[in-house]
Structure 1
Amino acid sequence: MIHRGSHAKMDQLYDSVRRGIANVAPSDLMTPSRIVERAADAVSEDAEPTSTIAPYYQDLAGVNQPMNMVFKRGIWWMLGIAALLVLGIRISQLLWMQLRQVAAMTQPREKQTYWKYSQHEWMPWIKRYVLYAPLGKKRHNREIRLSIAGHMGTLPSRFHTIVVGVFLLSNTIYLFWVDWNQENKYALCAEIRGRSGTLSMVNMVPLIILAGRNNPLIWMLHISFDTYNLLHRWMGRVVIIEAVIHTISWSIPAVADLEWSGAAEASVTSWFYGSGWIATIGMVILLIGSLSPVRHAFYETFLNSHIALAIITFGGTLIHCATAHIEGGLPQLPWIIAILILWGLDRFARFARLAYCNWTRAGFTTARCQAMPHDVTRVTLTLPRHVDIKPGTHAYLRFWGVNRWECHPFSIAWVDHHATRDSGLPVAEKEPLTGIDYSRTTTSVSFLIAAQTGFTRKLYDTTVAHSKRFGSPAVFMKAAMEGPYAGHHSLDSYGHAVLFAGSTGITHQMSYIRHLLKGYNEGTIATRRVTLVWVIREYDSLEWVREWMTEILRIPHRRDILRINVFITRPNNARDMSPPSETVKLFPGRPNIPLLLAKEMAEQVGAMCVTVCGPGALADDVRSAAIAVQGETVCDFFEESFTW
């Protein structure tokens, strides 16, 4: 059925064409092109005024595409140059550390004086006020608590603030570099629409690169995933805000031309408009779910919904770019295709690492879970193949009996390699000439997991329940390890290493201690003094690492370089303070970190590094002390953290 309005418009169009033909001169009656031209002019004269708005929300009229491409190149060149600059600095640092290690590894501690002092007078200033400095006075990694259940996250460091600030400022300038003197407000909306949409897509490319665990920039630039995660969050916020501005800039002329009902109908009936709305709504929900209080209160839900909403956003954006009223789609179509490829490659790399580490013809990875004092689960994974794992690494774990689809990162505390049953003698004894036959070894990897909420709490409760039910000290279940990741902070070139750990943060430092003692005995590292400071609440927490610590104390010559100071903040009785060894000392209360570090500085051997892994408050105290001692001598600071 044809509506009356349609008849009226057809009659009006017919009258316009008829008048146009009537105005054709008799000499032009034999020229068809002239007849068509006059008819088109008549139709244009009778068109409604609102039709002039349509190009500013339907097509690229008013969009300054050349300037959009200039700003696209500006952002990508800025990020590329920054990456190249960091790469150059990292290469020079690695070469210097390699030179220092080679020169000092055969020298006694008293002959490492040259490496003790800074080679550049400006370097301590940079460390004190830029690289290591918190945003304010002291607080950096200590959470801003709202309640017991949730918090606002952490504050970025001063250097990270500068990086994020430059990125935000550049995007703000690019976004509002438009012709504000434009008299046609709909043309201005079109220019803002094109600029904001382009910038959103431009920033989405590095956003996806930085989000991946297998991001190649991590090992190329030796920058931690924690830093990339911070940049990912801020880039994501910028991408979403620009997408919202893009949608609002479309809505203003669309509503002016079609009214609210017409704009809503167009959004529902058009693939181009509808997919754009779906992508924008998906982004807004992503932003709400990623707000720090929401993310920390419902972290497991956030992880799963984040992936689902990202897929919806990518799909909507792809359809939006492909179904535009332009031949070949929008100019941004290749970018979203590249984004999907990058995201798919990261997912494939994660799957490949899972398959490689956890499956062979001999079987799958199994986990031995044991409940330890103070709600800690000690987990030892037996991988079915040999996996080379460096000190200071972490891995993502998932358990078939505990939320099998979720995986969380944990520091690797201890690694052992074992000969398989069919290899006969231990591998090292059986093949002294050709080395270890890795095809006949398996690897066990151990973790300490403190029960908090969600996944970690369910793991501990499941372990305790199974132990009580079957009367066994440990529970076995299928598991999988994705990793290892990180491990790019090498301590081998430092003559002096001071390691701080809080609670289960000892896992990060145990791997370094074992590696440094082994390297000292083999003469392959420069380290001549190692001091461990471990802060725990109860004496029973020593049980977490008793097996590993016993093995460390049996390593030859460990008395020459290793000192261990354990601070128990809540000792039960005086007997708990009896030292188990001359090099292992127990102290009640909390450590005076500035005093401890000042004492280490007074006895510094060669270049010094200070590392910390533990609660945010402890990490901030160690950072503050490391900043305070910056001066003539070399003191580098490393922090291991998982801010989410």
Structure 2
Amino acid sequence: MMDFQRRRLALAMESTPTLLRRATDAAASATSTVSAAEETIAPYDHGLNGVAQTNNMIFKQGLWWMLGAFGFVILLVRIYQVMWSHIRHVSAMSIEGERQTYWKYAQAHWMPSFKTDVWYAPLWGKRHNREIRLSSAMNMGTLPSRLHFGQLALYGISNIVYMCYVDWSNSNKYSLCAEIRGRSGTLAAVNMIPLFLFAGRNNPLISWLKISFDTYNLFHRWLGRLAIIEIFVHFLAWSIVQMAATGWSGLVDRVFHDPFIASGTAGSWAMFVILILSLSPIRHAFYETFLTTHIILAFIVLVGALIHCLTPTEIATGLPQQTWFMAMFAIWMFDRTARMVRLTYCNWSSRGFTEAIVEAMPGECSRVTMHLPRHVDIKAGTHAYIRFAGIKPWENHPFSIAWVDHHSEELPVDEKELMIMKKNTTTSVSFVIGAQSGFTRDLYNMANNSPSRAIRTRAALEGPYGGHHGLDSYGHAVLVAGATGITHQLSYLRPLIEGFNDGSIATRRVTLIWIVRDYEALEWIRPWMDEVLRMPNRKKILTIKLFITRPKNSKEIVSASSTVQMFPGRPNIPLLIRKEVHAQMGAMAVTVCGPGALADDVRSGVRQVQEEGTVVDFFEESFTW
């Protein structure tokens, strides 16, 4: 018995190393297998392998539904506003201003606080359109409003959440990179559709939703930044797997010789250059160069992305995003075609082409009158893009339309004859353009250097655009202008006075507040203002308050009458608005066009008077860039 136990113990001792070696070998083999699995590159270096396409399409729908929800809510609000304005217009246009009490006060008790805290609220404080200046020649642009910031934040956070919703527990980093590559590329393509749509002047959403191009431009800039970040992640995720599969030499070879990768790389680098050039200090310092370069680079991005989606060698039918980029190309072509149609229609007829008279005005301004060879209907509060044959004809810039005249040799007898006569009518459109730098400075210098300080040149007008804010339903209108911003406000005066005389509008009181540096600025608009002051019943409806911030002579500051008043120095804008509210007739509209600091003061003043409980609506005309 003892001998058996000794032999069994000896056998166990001899077999233990063998078992240990077997166990160690098995563990090593398992570890090797796991390691090999973690480092597997193929098939994640090509095609849609590893791309979570189902989730990509779900997140695509999520972003588009969010944009659609934004648009739908705004559309409902606009429909309500249009209907309410129409009802107010029809019911108040035959009532004296003092009796428009029903429309003077807000019908919903929560509306004034909503306007104060959300609708008209800046992000914080009162700064919104006042530029954040870094130096006298450089600034960082403007801040979004509280409402716009909320929309941008919600959309941006959605992008981040969708971007991060990947399988981080995946032990194969190359598979993880493939999933990130597919997600980032899909999100970038999704964002590029509204990016191109919002960049167009003929974006149909502008008129449908009555949102200014300036607001769409804000969203365009932030969508572009989102798309560029996602494109960079897309390129980086592909590069990691490609480097592991073929090394640096293989990556470079594909970048330069594979149409699929080369087109994507070209588009990615074009977007990166756009990002650098669009940084606010650079964009503002070299805006005209930036604009031209931006259009060229955007076209490269569009073509590169389209080729990238059509030419993957591993997928015979191309990437699923190809139809999206075809839609972008259609959007781009629609905007360009619409612009060409507008240019052709406004500036050419059997009578010839548009000519412009450019006059150099005091205060380094140009007064431009464009004689169009046909009748063009132009509403108050609109703007147009103009260009001149002798001054960088490839450039065009937006300016508010100050005055419109229609010229005909015959007077119409009835509406039918009026329609016929429009074919034989021409239109004159006038602007006041301050000489800043680049295009506007060249325009002023060309006129100023002429012996008569005026030139006649071939020109072209593209427009009109804007004009979404009608004032006819308001019993009281306050128009605030700074410097050349008078052009926007001046365009309302004649229609409002004519409507008052015809009894076709609800407006009973109009106050024009104009802030200028010196008295010479009156020359900019003298011929049009003289016509306004001669209109019948002008004194019954219009009061003009002119503030000269730097008068050269105190004798210049002379009020012509109680309805045309002049004051030295800068006005207290909130106090002026409060005084208007105390004399308010019906619903009130306050509009502003001028420097960002002035616009912010007016916005602040309107927010302050909401506590009165009266209807005071705010409209801002701006061209931020």
TM-score for both structures, normalised by structure 2: 0.92
Residue 146 of structure 1 aligns to a residue in which SS?
A: strand
Residue 121 of structure 1 aligns to a residue in which SS?
A: coil
Matched, 1:238 2:219: no
Equivalent residue letter for 1:105: M
Matched, 1:387 2:373: no
1:628/1:49 CA distance change after superposition, 3 Å: closer
Query: In the alignment, which of 414, 418, 442 is matched to residue 435 of structure 1?
Result: 418
Matched, 1:418 2:407: yes
Residue 496 of structure 2 aligns to a residue in which SS?
A: helix
Equivalent residue letter for 1:312: I
Structure 2 match to 1:534: 514
Structure 1 match to 2:479: 499
Equivalent residue letter for 2:530: T
Structure 2 match to 1:404: 393
Structure 2 match to 1:555: 535
Structure 2 match to 1:519: 499
- Give CA deviations for 1:550-580 in whole Å, capped at 9, x if unaligned: 0000110011111000000111112201123
Query: In the alignment, which of 574, 588, 591 is matched to residue 568 of structure 2?
Result: 588
Structure 2 match to 1:30: none
Distance in 1, Cα, partners of 2:135 & 2:325: 40
Equivalent residue letter for 1:382: H
Structure 2 match to 1:572: 552
Structure 2 match to 1:639: 620
- Give CA deviations for 1:227-260 in whole Å, capped at 9, x if unaligned: 0000000001111110110000000111111111
Are 1:396 and 1:408, in contact at CA under 8 Å, matched by a contact in 2?
A: yes
Give 1:59 deviation, angstroms: 1.7
Structure 1 match to 2:15: none
Give 1:51 deviation, angstroms: 9.8
Structure 1 match to 2:590: 610
For 1:156-305, list aligned pairs within 5 A: 156-305=144-293
Aligned length: 588
Distance in 2, Cα, partners of 1:287 & 1:387: 39
Query: In the alignment, which of 45, 51, 55 is matched to residue 67 of structure 1?
Result: 55
- Give CA deviations for 1:242-300 in whole Å, capped at 9, x if unaligned: 01100000001111111112211122121111111111000000111111111111111
Distance in 1, Cα, partners of 2:417 & 2:166: 68
Give 1:131 deviation, angstroms: 1.1
Are 1:54 and 1:253, in contact at CA under 8 Å, matched by a contact in 2?
A: no
Structure 2 match to 1:376: 365
Which consecutive unaligned segments of at least 5 residues does structure 1 have?
1-44, 420-424
Give 1:54 deviation, angstroms: 3.4
Structure 2 match to 1:464: 448
Equivalent residue letter for 2:90: V
Distance in 2, Cα, partners of 1:370 & 1:184: 71
Structure 1 match to 2:434: 450
- Give CA deviations for 1:346-366 in whole Å, capped at 9, x if unaligned: 100001000000011210000
Distance in 2, Cα, partners of 1:356 & 1:562: 36
Are 2:447 and 2:453, in contact at CA under 8 Å, matched by a contact in 1?
A: no
Give 1:109 deviation, angstroms: 1.0
For 1:108-127, list aligned pairs within 5 A: 108-127=96-115
Matched, 1:134 2:114: no
Distance in 1, Cα, partners of 2:135 & 2:45: 46
1:482/1:216 CA distance change after superposition, 3 Å: same
Of 431-440 and 509-518, the range deviating more from structure 2: 431-440
Equivalent residue letter for 2:348: W
Of 365-374 and 256-265, the range deviating more from structure 2: 256-265
Structure 1 match to 2:348: 359
Residue 133 of structure 2 aligns to a residue in which SS?
A: coil
Of 571-580 and 323-332, the range deviating more from structure 2: 571-580
Give 1:435 deviation, angstroms: 2.5
Query: In the alignment, which of 287, 311, 321 is matched to residue 332 of structure 1?
Result: 321
Give 1:110 deviation, angstroms: 1.7
Give 1:473 deviation, angstroms: 4.2
1:432/1:138 CA distance change after superposition, 3 Å: closer
Matched, 1:598 2:578: yes
Distance in 2, Cα, partners of 1:306 & 1:110: 53
Matched, 1:483 2:463: yes
Structure 2 match to 1:38: none
- Give CA deviations for 1:506-529 in whole Å, capped at 9, x if unaligned: 000001111111111111110000
Structure 1 match to 2:137: 149
Residue 603 of structure 2 aligns to a residue in which SS?
A: helix
Distance in 2, Cα, partners of 1:132 & 1:582: 32
- Give CA deviations for 1:92-143 in whole Å, capped at 9, x if unaligned: 1100000000000011112100000001111111110111111110111111
Which consecutive unaligned segments of at least 5 residues does structure 2 have?
1-32
Equivalent residue letter for 1:633: T
Are 2:120 and 2:603, in contact at CA under 8 Å, matched by a contact in 1?
A: yes
Residue 139 of structure 2 aligns to a residue in which SS?
A: coil
Residue 387 of structure 1 aligns to a residue in which SS?
A: coil
Q: Report the identity percentage.
A: 58
1:520/1:249 CA distance change after superposition, 3 Å: same
Structure 2 match to 1:102: 90
Query: In the alignment, which of 61, 66, 73 is matched to residue 85 of structure 1?
Result: 73
- Give CA deviations for 1:30-74 in whole Å, capped at 9, x if unaligned: xxxxxxxxxxxxxxx9xx999941321212111000000000111
Distance in 2, Cα, partners of 1:185 & 1:140: 45
Give 1:434 deviation, angstroms: 2.8
Distance in 1, Cα, partners of 2:477 & 2:160: 44
Residue 410 of structure 1 aligns to a residue in which SS?
A: strand
Give 1:440 deviation, angstroms: 0.6
Residue 427 of structure 1 aligns to a residue in which SS?
A: coil
Give 1:433 deviation, angstroms: 6.6
- Give CA deviations for 1:431-452 in whole Å, capped at 9, x if unaligned: 6773351001000000000000
Structure 1 match to 2:9: none
1:626/1:51 CA distance change after superposition, 3 Å: closer
Equivalent residue letter for 1:634: V
Distance in 2, Cα, partners of 1:595 & 1:203: 44
Equivalent residue letter for 1:392: G
TM-score for both structures, normalised by structure 1: 0.90
Q: CA RMSD in A?
A: 1.4
